[in-house]
Structure 1
Amino acid sequence: MGKEMTYTPCTTYEDLAKKCAGTVKGPVMLARQENRLRELSRRICGEEEITFYGIDNEEGLRVYRRGVLFLMVKAVRDLFGEDSLVVVEHSLQKNLYCEIRRPEMKLTEELLRKLEGKMREYVALDLPIYKRTMRKEEARAIARKQGMLDKAELFRYRRASNVNLYELDGYFDYFYGYMPPSTGYTKVFHLMAYENGFLIRFPDPKNPEVLREFSDPKKISAVFLEQMKWCQLMGVNNVAELNLAISQDKFGDLIRINEALHEKKVAEIADMIHKRMDQVRVVLIAGPSSSGKTSFANRLCIQLKVLGVKPHKISLDDYFVERDKTPVDENGKKNYEHIQALDLPLLNDDLKKMIAGECVELPTYNFITGKREYNGNRIQMASGEILVLEGIHGLNDMLTSEIPAEQKFKIFISAMTQLNVDDHNRISTSDSRLIRRMVRDHQFRGRDAATTIAQWDDVTEGEAENIFPYQENADVVFNSATIYELSVLKQYAEPQLFRIREDQPEYITAKRLIKFLGYFLAAPGLEIPNNSLIKEFIGGSCFKV
């Protein structure tokens, strides 16, 4: 903060934050002292430097979102009855998609405005939010009394003897993470009717006084709705139900059903391509880090071969410009994720020649020398053959600007989490991918968890710029997440996370992920087939990944 301040033993972080108003964008949501996050309602101890976070910081934004969510759940119960079940299903463009499960109630625009109005009443009253620490059995009893059987079952598998519940005007709920000290901290939000429920929209971290812009991601939304059906089909909608399946020796069946659903989906995509073989010449596969793109591409190629189509896989990495021509970012650092880091004229020229049936020698990029080489790798396409390209820019039309649109089939792949912790706590898709990447980096790339975590913000910023803006350009979306994977990844990830020391900058993220993985019972991956996308991360894949 750049200020030295004295305080009394009873001073809270909230008291100090009020004296430092204007140092963050929007309201202060969270404090960081030394290398630990602190709720604003907590009393200050120690003399270490204190940093405050607003919603322009990811940790602060998480607190804001939880606060608004708490308002919404409380308002639903007050307006529609304590037996009204509200479920947070998934995140959509940083908004939360929710449904109210009450058979006789149809959610109209009038009811939605009434619900939002009730939430704003709580904000105006600035009601305090209390953290209550209690014995596990007491917390389970409160959850059952309030009809939150999902939370009661979740606590059953909790190893700690105590549970922290939050209280708002007599209503108790459990949230994975910290809360604001009162309802007055969460003034900017909006409820928008969507699909069978509604979206909670949140402020723009760069401009906290206004809502984040929203463009309807219809294809992504359709995939999430499909995943909801898959969860219902498998009888596992939350972590407690996954843990129950493991404890009842049903984990193997869960793996087989999930993998069968994946294989069926891959086969459907291959069928779609096959039906357009009179036009399509190039399949483009794109997705964020740790989505399982390589395994997916291999499985798709197998399904295409079953249909009599011969695929030729091409790596976009081989089309990097020579290293001294790589574009740089504003800090002068080489930006290998920029689309101009690829030799687009050469790529398009080679693609056009191959589509025309000419014999083309493909380059191989030497990552040691930073130069392209030609080693006799030639392709000449014939009838019934197709090119398969995998890379982060696959959905950006600039990549293949000289190839007619009808000759391209675009696939977006991402690990969009199917499972939630409970009805009010969703599992972050970004966290799931980070855990995947952490395990893979340690297994096959010699990197520790701290290194992976340290690089993650740069990775996600690159994805936000180069991948997600183009996801709706896809002809089809494939969700590579599995309902079972975190129970398997847990045993690989936890030892790495525990190696991160408290004085390391990555400790905050490590501590959060350790707590998160603590919800899951560990399960061996012995029954995972060797063509599974998960094998790309834990090892044992039959594909070269």
Structure 2
Amino acid sequence: MPNTLIWIPKRLVELGLVNVAARSPEAFIDYCEQDYAARVEHAAACVRESGAHVVMLTGPSASGKTTTAHKLADCIAAHGRRSAVVSLDNFYKDLKDYPRLPDGSVDYESVDALDISAINRCLLELIRTGRTQIPDFDFCGERRRHGVIPVEVGDGVVVIEGIHALNPRLTALLPEGSAFKIYAGMREEYSRDGQRILPTRDVRLARRMVRDHKFRGHSLEKTFSMWPAVCEGEDKNIKVFKPEADLLLDTSFSYEVCCLAPFVTALRGELAPGTPYAAQLESLCSRFALCMPLPEQSIPRTSMLREFIG
């Protein structure tokens, strides 16, 4: 049966208040970082109390789930239990075995792109013995490498992170109560004069755009062109399983729109007027231009936001 958690409504924060707080950047950033750390610490406490040996953690694109998974594992370890993080990305099949969309193109978002039987086996081994061996996936070649990656935590906790982590097919064979499920997502949006101007989906797009541009060699056109399919995949494959979650973990930072602002606005004009996505880029840049910019060096090196800005 699905859990009966009530999903916390999103907070609509007036951007003028954020800009006022940004005039005292050190205090503002410190407060937001401590608040996020407290949320992760609370999640770790819930995992310990549950007695689960496996945590299934998901969230939409650019929700910060990967870094949050590692910070959660660190919190668990700090309280004396061994921990490790395993990405579901390692369980992707070879590209030739991916499911196809009606037009014949590869369906990267489908859960059937994963080797579900291998996931079932590895999770059962972790619960029964505290150790397993997971596949080693080559993302450049989009196929499995020869060999495996050993994972061992004894009676500790393994955090499994990925977009399909809450899909019941991945945990269907596990004993009741042996997996603790977390949905990580942003809960803060921003308004001006009472009108919402930066919903969470646009903030996540900005996170992804900055990360793709700085570290993944993706053009702006590629990021924007992929985004509708990413969002459609989230609605179909991730958000539908929110009711499965034991805990809802907020990954918002009130100061982050000010942190992202210099990166986003620096891309203004990169797409020529009239070309695909130029209007979308201009709209995003114009809204982030309303945020008081915070310099990159003011962001702590350990911040979860470093996943996106480096």
TM-score by length of 2: 0.93
CA distance in 2, matches of 1:333, 1:325: 12
| Structure 1: distance between partners of 2:159 and 2:217 | 29
d(CA) in 1 for partners of 2:294, 2:26: 10
Q: Quote the Cα distance in structure 2 between the aligned partners of 1:318 and 1:418.
A: 33
Counterpart in 2 of 1:514?
285
- For residue 309 of structure 1, report the CA deviation from its aligned partner: 1.3
* Distance in 1 between residues matched to 2:203 and 2:152, nearest whole Å: 40
Whether the aligned pair in 2 keeps the contact of 1:292 and 1:536 (CA below 8 Å) is yes
User: 1:245 and 2:21 equivalent?
Assistant: yes
Partner of 1:324: 96
The separation in 1 between residues aligned to 2:78 and 2:49, in whole angstroms, is 14
Pairing 1:526–2:302 present: no
Give 1:276 deviation, angstroms.
1.6
Residues 243 and 453 of structure 1, relative CA distance in 2, 3 Å threshold: same
**How many residues of Structure 1 are paired with residues of Structure 2 in the alignment?**
307
Question: What is the RMSD of the two structures over their aligned residues, measured on CA atoms?
Answer: 1.8
Counterpart amino acid of residue 6 in structure 2:
K
Which residue in the other structure is 1:180 paired with?
Answer: none
1:503 Cα deviation (Å)?
2.3
The answer to whether the 8 A contact 1:395-1:410 is kept is yes
Residue 270 of structure 2 aligns with an amino acid whose one-letter code is R
Instruction: Name the counterpart of 2:209.
Output: 438
CA distance in 1, matches of 2:38, 2:205: 26
Note the alpha carbon deviations across 1:45-71, whole angstroms, 9 max, x for none. xxxxxxxxxxxxxxxxxxxxxxxxxxx
Task: Flag structure 1 segments of 5+ consecutive residues without an equivalent.
Answer: 1-216, 229-236, 540-545
Give the match for residue 259 of structure 1. Answer: 33
Shift of residue 463 of structure 1?
A: 0.6
The alignment partner of 2:60 has SS state of coil
Tell me if 1:474 matches 2:245.
yes
Structure 2 residue aligned with 1:397:
168
Task: Give, in angstroms, the shift of residue 351 of structure 1.
Answer: 1.5
Q: How many Å apart are 1:366 and its aligned residue?
A: 1.7
Q: Distance in 2 between matches of 1:512 and 1:245?
A: 24
- C-alpha distance 478-358 of structure 1, shift in aligned 2 (>3 A): closer
> Residue 6 of structure 2 aligns with which residue?
219
Offset, 1:376: 5.0
Aligned to 1:274: 48
Is residue 449–residue 497 contact of structure 1 (8 Å, CA) maintained in 2?
no
**SS of 1:219 mapped into structure 2:** coil
Residue correspondence of structure 1 range 165-180 to structure 2 within 5 A = none
Structure 1 residue 223: deviation in Å? 5.5
2: CA distance, partners of 1:285 / 1:422: 36
Of 75, 85, 91, which aligns to 1:313?
85
CA drift at 1:320: 1.0
Check if 1:425 corresponds to 2:196.
Answer: yes
For 2:108, the equivalent position in structure 1 comes to 336
- Alpha-carbon spacing, 1:436–1:263, altered in 2? closer, same or farther (3 Å): same
Identity of aligned residues (%): 28
Spell out, residue by residue over 1:55-94, the C-alpha distance to the aligned partner (whole angstroms, 9 max, x if none): xxxxxxxxxxxxxxxxxxxxxxxxxxxxxxxxxxxxxxxx
Q: Give the conservation status (yes or no) of the 8 Å contact 1:360–1:379.
A: yes
Q: Higher relative contact order by CA 8 Å / sep ≥ 6: 1 or 2?
A: 2
Sort the Cα spacing of 1:508 and 1:320 in 2 relative to 1 into closer, same or farther, 3 A.
same
Q: Aligned letter for 2:17?
A: E
Task: Quote the Cα distance in structure 2 between the aligned partners of 1:534 and 1:368.
Answer: 25
For 2:62, which of 280, 284, 290 is the aligned residue?
Answer: 290
Give the secondary structure class of the aligned counterpart of 1:298.
Answer: helix
Give SS of 2:297's match: coil
Deviation at 1:426, TM superposition (A): 4.7
Q: How many angstroms apart in 2 are the aligned matches of 1:351 and 1:218? A: 25
AA at the equivalent of 1:253: A
Secondary structure of the 1:393 match is: coil
Q: 1:450 aligns to what?
A: 221
CA distance in 1, matches of 2:196, 2:98: 42
Among candidates 230, 245, 258, match of residue 487 of structure 1: 258
After superposition, the Cα gap between the structure-2 partners of 1:425 and 1:370, relative to the gap in structure 1 and judged at 3 Å, is: closer
Q: Post-superposition shift, 1:374?
A: 4.3
Q: Look up the SS of the partner of 2:182 in the other structure.
A: strand
Match of 1:356 in 2: 128
How far does the alpha carbon of each residue in 1:13-57 deviate from its partner, in whole angstroms, 9 at most, with x for none?
xxxxxxxxxxxxxxxxxxxxxxxxxxxxxxxxxxxxxxxxxxxxx
Retained in 1: the 8 A contact 2:136–2:148?
A: no
The CA deviation at 1:418 is: 4.2
> If you compute each CA radius of gyration, which structure gives the higher value, 1 or 2?
1
Which amino acid in the other structure matches residue 32 of structure 2? N
What is the TM-score with the length of structure 1 in the denominator? Answer: 0.54
SS, match of residue 425 in structure 1: strand
Which is richer in helix? 2
Residue of structure 2 in register with 1:414 after alignment: 185
Cα distance in 1 for residues equivalent to 2:281 and 2:219: 12
Secondary structure at the counterpart of residue 252 of structure 1 = helix
Partner of 1:58: none
Q: In 2, Cα distance between the equivalents of 1:319 and 1:334?
A: 17
1:97-125 CA distance string (max 9 Å, x none): xxxxxxxxxxxxxxxxxxxxxxxxxxxxx
Instruction: Please say if residues 286 and 393 of structure 1, whose CA atoms lie closer than 8 Å, have aligned partners that are also in contact.
Output: yes
CA spacing shift, 1:330–1:508, aligned 2, 3 Å: same
